[in-house]
Structure 1
């Protein structure tokens, strides 16, 4: 009886999991394995596949464009991740206090997260317009002449970073807000008894008790920043002079414009290795994060 019941439950479990396993195999596992094999080949989707071994990886080391987009990606991550974490944390702290309209502000800050990147890019392109954009008009009120944001090799990347940070701010803010609401008010009451100011409570109570939340947000933010593509593609298409081109954008060009599928696959696995190393370092440092 028990054996038949176990067999029946096991059969139903397999049947219920089967659609998901089929989807995972066809749309995740197979592409991962296929792209890994392609990274050792030369294929333009028209001619037969040629095995080239490690040639694609060797070529990446001498590809000046890849080196440039690699450092552009580092620049994007190094600026956008800390900026996003700091701003979202302070917004979460501000919304955690007893102010009116908290639900409205939470929804307003989260709205860009669920908005289409196409719509966001169009709005921000108008804001950055050097002639009639809102940003340069605002700067002109203070006697400052605004630059040509998206056509300047200096200001194009900061403009893309600002847009990306603004769009993802609400997600990190809600994660921090959930972490803040899990902190017992007893800690703050004890700090007030000891005469702690609001800054002392933030520094010695809030920040240490949010270390695990901050760790999660940091890991996710770094992974997302290294995979940025839509903002670059829609706002600047990697220009001017590849000043905003990042690894995923260059990968897209090689795969779907130059049809160098093997080279693009090799680039994808280099990106995977970079993200993996950074994530492992963050997990290795997690012990220190959790020691506060």
Structure 2
């Protein structure tokens, strides 16, 4: 009976997840042409990939973006969750408000924030001009473009992480924090030595999930910068997109996708191992 209930989702997973992954793995070993003709070339795509400077450059951009985006999103979500956990008045309303950007299309969010970042008439530069700062070319400066895109993605996605962390905070027994208060612990000491250790499994979960999402970034960069300036926002998935749909090198693009899959798989295995240990 249990298998009967999970059968529909299992079929969908095999057809739309597992099947395409196996197909991409095989495709990465071929020279597949747009006409449908293909030739088996073994590991030649991977050899070419490891010697491709553009691959390493895009991987570096993705790593830097991940290092900026993940702490920004998790800290913003954690701070908001702590405030909502302590606030009783209109808590449900504020949860909805903070979660609303998450259900917004990333393309729409990227377009809006691109307008906000505009050098000449953008909202942010208008505010900076009011205090005699700027204008700042947020999307045209190689040093600012990744933090600017990360801020857009963090605004769009922190609401989901906030709800997970809020659920984790609400699962902490109140007796524990009350005992720490009776013992004379300050608010910071209670948060540092009681709340954070008990929140560790949830916190690690959201860190891994956000890191996986960061490694797959593409939409915001495509809409806001087109990979520029000077490939400063040219992510690994953007490299995959160009290889497959701009140069029609489908075998090579599949090899890039498999390398991304390996990175995501490593993060997933770490998540399973460490979270399982915490639960035990």
Does the TM-score normalized on the shorter chain lie above 0.5? yes
- Per-residue deviation, 1:58: 0.7
Task: Tell me if structure 2 keeps the 8 A contact 1:215–1:289.
Answer: no
Range moving further from structure 2, 79-88 or 280-289: 280-289
TM-score by length of 2: 0.93
Task: Tell me if structure 2 keeps the 8 A contact 1:124–1:163.
Answer: yes
Which residue in the other structure is 1:243 paired with?
A: 232
Counterpart of 1:63 (choices 49, 52, 60) is 52
**5+ residue gaps in structure 2?**
none
1:151 aligns with 2:140: yes
CA distance in 1, matches of 2:28, 2:193: 49
- Aligned-residue CA RMSD (Å): 2.1
- Per-residue deviation, 1:98: 3.1
1:76-95 aligned within 5 A: 76-95=65-84
- Per-residue deviation, 1:132: 0.8
Task: Tell me if structure 1 keeps the 8 A contact 2:145–2:232.
Answer: yes
Structure with higher Rg: it is 1
The verdict on how the C-alpha distance between 1:289 and 1:129 changes in structure 2, with shifts beyond 3 A counting, is farther
Deviations 1:195-226 (A, max 9, x none): 11110111111101101110111111111111
CA distance in 2, matches of 1:85, 1:23: 31
Counterpart of 2:118 (choices 117, 129, 132) is 129
1:261-280 aligned within 5 A: 261-280=250-269
Which residue in the other structure is 2:203 paired with?
A: 214
- Per-residue deviation, 1:279: 3.5
Structure 1 counterpart SS, 2:33: coil
TM-score by length of 1: 0.89
Task: Tell me if structure 1 keeps the 8 A contact 2:205–2:275.
Answer: no
Which residue in the other structure is 2:183 paired with?
A: 194
Deviations 1:86-139 (A, max 9, x none): 111111000111342211211111001001112211110110000111111112
- Per-residue deviation, 1:246: 0.6
CA distance in 1, matches of 2:6, 2:266: 32
- Per-residue deviation, 1:143: 1.9
Counterpart of 1:33 (choices 9, 16, 22) is 22
Task: Tell me if structure 2 keeps the 8 A contact 1:56–1:263.
Answer: yes
CA distance in 1, matches of 2:16, 2:266: 25
Task: Tell me if structure 2 keeps the 8 A contact 1:211–1:290.
Answer: no
**5+ residue gaps in structure 1?**
1-8
CA distance in 2, matches of 1:138, 1:101: 30
